[in-house]
A and B are shown apart, each in its own frame.
Chain A
Amino acid sequence: MRPVTAEAFAATVTRLRYLLLALCIALVGVAMVPIGNIWPPDPSARIFFAPENPERQALDEYEAAYAKDDNLAIVLVPDDGDVFSPEHLALIGEITERAWRLPLVRRVDSLTNFQHTFADADGLVVRDLVEDPATVTPEEAAEAKAIALNRLEVVDRLVSPAADVSQVSVLFRLPGLKPTEEVPSIVSAARELVADVEANHPVDIRLTGAIMINNQFASSGREDSANLLGPMFVVILVIVGAALRSVFATVAVLIVISLSAMAGLGAAGWFGFRLNSVTVLAPLYIMTLAVASAVHVLAACRARMPETGDRRVWVEKALAEHAPAIAIACVTTAIGFYSLNFSISPPFRQLGNIVGTGVLAAMVLTLFALPCLITLLPMRRQSSAEAEPRLMRAIAEFVIARRRAVLPAMLLVVAGCAAGIATIKLEDDFLRYFDERYAFRQDTDFTEERLTGVNQLNYALPAGAPQGINDPAYLTEHAAFVSWLREQPEVRHVYSLTDTIRRLTMNMNDDDPSFYRLPETEEAAAQYLFLYELSLGYGQDLTDQINVERSAMRATAAINRATTAEMRALTLRAGDWIAENAPMMQAAWTEEHPERAQVTPTGVVHVFNLISYRDVRAMLSGTAIALVLISGIIMLSLRSVRVGLVSLVPNLVPAAMAFGLWGYLVGNVTLAIAVVLAATLGIVVDDTVHFLSKYHAARRKGASPEDAVRHAFLRVGNALLITTIGLVAGFAVLATSGFAVNGDMAKLTAITITVALIADFLLLPCLLIWLDKRKDAMPLRTATTSTAMMVTGGLLAIAACMADTRARAEDPAAKGLAIAEASDKRDLGWSAYTVEGEMILRDAGGGENRRVFENLLMEREARSEGDLSVIVFSRPRDIRGTGLLTHANIEPTDDDQWLYLPALKRVKRISSSNRTGKFVSSEFSYEDLGSQEVDDYTYKWLRNEPCPGAETLTCHVVESYPVNKNSGYARRIGWVDNAEYRQWRVEFYNRGDALEKVLTSHGYQEYAGNYWRADRLTMENVQTGKSTDLLFTNYDFSAGLDDGDFDPNRLARMAR
Chain B
Amino acid sequence: MRPIVCAAALAAAFLGSAPAFGQDTADSGADPAWWPEYTEFFGEFALEATLFPETPQFPGQANHAGSVAGEATLLAEWLDGDLAVEVTPFARFDFADQERSNFDVRTAKVDYAFGDWALRLGADRIFWGRAEAFHLVDIVNQTDAAEDLDDEDRLGQPMIRLARLTDIGEFSAIYFPYNRTRRFPGADGRLRTEPRVDDDAPIFEPSANRFAPSFALRYSGFVGPVDLGISMFHGLARDPSFTFDPTTGRLRPVYSRITQGAVDFQYTSGATLWKFEGLVRAGERDVTFDKSFFGAATGGLEHTLFGLFGSNADLGLILEYAVDSRFDDANTIFQNDLILGTRLALNDVDDTSVLLTGTGDLEDGSLAFRAEAERRLGERVKLSLEAQIFDLRSTGIAASLADDSFVRLKLGVFF
A1049 contacts the other chain (Cβ, under 8 Å)? yes
Check A918–B295 contact: CB distance below 8 A.
no
Contacts of B349 in A (CB 8 A): 841, 849, 921
Complex CA gap A1047/B86 in Å reads 22
Stretch of A6-14, A356-364, A874-882 that contacts chain B: A874-882
A383 contacts the other chain (Cβ, under 8 Å)? no
Check A913–B306 contact: CB distance below 8 A.
yes
A904 contacts the other chain (Cβ, under 8 Å)? yes
A1056 contacts the other chain (Cβ, under 8 Å)? yes
Contacts of B348 in A (CB 8 A): 921
**CB neighbors of B among A603-654 (8 A):** 617-618, 620-622, 624-625, 628, 635, 641
Complex CA gap A594/B246 in Å reads 11
Interface string of A855-877 (1 = CB under 8 A from B): 00000000000000000000111
Check A1047–B276 contact: CB distance below 8 A.
no
Check A621–B297 contact: CB distance below 8 A.
yes
Partner of A905, one of B125, B268, B296: B125
Contacts of A1044 in B (CB 8 A): 116, 165
Check A877–B314 contact: CB distance below 8 A.
no
Complex CA gap A1056/B42 in Å reads 11
B360 contacts the other chain (Cβ, under 8 Å)? no
B352 — nearest CB in chain A belongs to which residue? A921
Check B266–A1047 contact: CB distance below 8 A.
no
Check A876–B376 contact: CB distance below 8 A.
yes
Partner of A877, one of B266, B278, B414: B414
Partner of A621, one of B77, B169, B325: B325
Partner of B127, one of A905, A914, A1056: A905
A903 — nearest CB in chain B belongs to which residue? B152
A476 contacts the other chain (Cβ, under 8 Å)? no
Interface string of A869-910 (1 = CB under 8 A from B): 000000111111000000000000010100000001111111
Contacts of B323 in A (CB 8 A): 621
Contacts of B266 in A (CB 8 A): 909
Q: Is the interface of A mostly helix, strand, loop or mixed?
A: mixed
Check B111–A1040 contact: CB distance below 8 A.
no
User: Do A54 and B288 contact each other (CB < 8 Å), given the known contacts A624-B297, A876-B376?
Assistant: yes
User: Do A914 and B296 contact each other (CB < 8 Å), given the known contacts A595-B290, A624-B278, A628-B276?
Assistant: no
Contacts of A434 in B (CB 8 A): none
Interface string of B377-406 (1 = CB under 8 A from A): 001101000000000000000000000000
Contacts of A896 in B (CB 8 A): 222, 224-225, 268
B351 — nearest CB in chain A belongs to which residue? A879
Partner of B278, one of A628, A781, A875, A908: A628
Partner of A914, one of B118, B225, B297, B314: B314
B221 — nearest CB in chain A belongs to which residue? A1049
Complex CA gap A743/B91 in Å reads 65
A: number of interface residues (CB 8 Å): 53
Check B380–A877 contact: CB distance below 8 A.
yes
Contacts of A641 in B (CB 8 A): 224-226, 267
Check B376–A880 contact: CB distance below 8 A.
no
Partner of A921, one of B80, B347, B379: B347
Complex CA gap A906/B132 in Å reads 11
Contacts of A596 in B (CB 8 A): 288
Complex CA gap A913/B325 in Å reads 36
Check B306–A622 contact: CB distance below 8 A.
no
**B21 → chain A, closest Cβ, in Å?**
14
User: Do A918 and B347 contact each other (CB < 8 Å), given the known contacts A621-B325, A641-B267?
Assistant: yes
Check A595–B376 contact: CB distance below 8 A.
no
Check B165–A917 contact: CB distance below 8 A.
no
A916 contacts the other chain (Cβ, under 8 Å)? yes
User: Do A1040 and B270 contact each other (CB < 8 Å), given the known contacts A628-B278, A896-B225, A918-B347?
Assistant: no
B306 — nearest CB in chain A belongs to which residue? A914
**CB neighbors of A among B284-342 (8 A):** 288-297, 304, 306-307, 312, 314, 323, 325, 327
A881 — nearest CB in chain B belongs to which residue? B42
B124 — nearest CB in chain A belongs to which residue? A905
Check A1053–B380 contact: CB distance below 8 A.
no
User: Do A917 and B270 contact each other (CB < 8 Å), given the known contacts A877-B415, A905-B125, A909-B227?
Assistant: no
User: Do A1040 and B224 contact each other (CB < 8 Å), given the known contacts A617-B327, A625-B278?
Assistant: no
A837 contacts the other chain (Cβ, under 8 Å)? no
**A443 → chain B, closest Cβ, in Å?**
37
A915 — nearest CB in chain B belongs to which residue? B306
Complex CA gap A1028/B192 in Å reads 49
A783 contacts the other chain (Cβ, under 8 Å)? yes
Q: Which among B42, B81, B152, B268 has the greatest number of chain A C-beta atoms within 10 A?
A: B268
Complex CA gap A811/B410 in Å reads 64
Contacts of B271 in A (CB 8 A): 782, 911, 913-914
Check B169–A595 contact: CB distance below 8 A.
no
Contacts of A876 in B (CB 8 A): 376, 379-380, 414
Contacts of B62 in A (CB 8 A): none
A283 contacts the other chain (Cβ, under 8 Å)? no
A914 — nearest CB in chain B belongs to which residue? B306
A580 contacts the other chain (Cβ, under 8 Å)? no
B80 — nearest CB in chain A belongs to which residue? A1040
Contacts of B211 in A (CB 8 A): none
Complex CA gap A921/B347 in Å reads 6
B5 contacts the other chain (Cβ, under 8 Å)? no
B275 — nearest CB in chain A belongs to which residue? A909
Check A909–B165 contact: CB distance below 8 A.
no
B111 — nearest CB in chain A belongs to which residue? A1053
Contacts of A1047 in B (CB 8 A): 165, 169-170
**B155 → chain A, closest Cβ, in Å?**
12
Check B224–A917 contact: CB distance below 8 A.
no
B75 contacts the other chain (Cβ, under 8 Å)? yes
**A1055 → chain B, closest Cβ, in Å?**
12
**B307 → chain A, closest Cβ, in Å?**
6
**A44 → chain B, closest Cβ, in Å?**
22
Interface string of B221-234 (1 = CB under 8 A from A): 11011110000000
Interface string of B106-130 (1 = CB under 8 A from A): 0000010100101000001111001
B102 contacts the other chain (Cβ, under 8 Å)? no
A1050 contacts the other chain (Cβ, under 8 Å)? yes
User: Do A904 and B152 contact each other (CB < 8 Å), given the known contacts A911-B304, A917-B306?
Assistant: yes
Complex CA gap A175/B292 in Å reads 29
User: Do A617 and B325 contact each other (CB < 8 Å), given the known contacts A877-B415, A914-B271, A1047-B170?
Assistant: yes
B285 — nearest CB in chain A belongs to which residue? A595
A1048 contacts the other chain (Cβ, under 8 Å)? yes
User: Do A905 and B126 contact each other (CB < 8 Å), given the known contacts A617-B327, A894-B270, A914-B271?
Assistant: yes
Check B165–A1050 contact: CB distance below 8 A.
yes
Contacts of A904 in B (CB 8 A): 127, 152
Complex CA gap A624/B297 in Å reads 9
**A881 → chain B, closest Cβ, in Å?**
8
Contacts of B314 in A (CB 8 A): 914, 917
A1048 — nearest CB in chain B belongs to which residue? B222
Interface string of A72-83 (1 = CB under 8 A from B): 000000000000
Interface string of B218-256 (1 = CB under 8 A from A): 001110111100000000000000001000000000000
Check A52–B292 contact: CB distance below 8 A.
yes
Contacts of A850 in B (CB 8 A): 379
Partner of A913, one of B130, B226, B227, B270: B270
* 22 residue pairs A–B, Cβ–Cβ below 8 Å: A52-B290, A595-B288, A620-B325, A625-B297, A628-B263, A781-B270, A876-B380, A877-B42, A877-B379, A878-B380, A879-B351, A880-B414, A894-B268, A896-B224, A905-B126, A906-B127, A911-B304, A921-B347, A1040-B80, A1049-B165, A1049-B220, A1053-B84
Additional pairs, 15, CB under 8 Å, beyond known A876-B376, A911-B272? A595-B288, A620-B325, A621-B278, A628-B278, A641-B225, A641-B226, A880-B414, A896-B222, A911-B273, A914-B271, A914-B307, A916-B307, A917-B307, A920-B347, A1053-B118
A residues bordering B, Cβ < 8 Å?
52, 54, 342, 594-596, 617-618, 620-622, 624-625, 628, 635, 641, 781-783, 841, 849-850, 875-880, 894, 896, 904-911, 913-914, 916-918, 920-921, 1040, 1044, 1047-1050, 1053, 1056
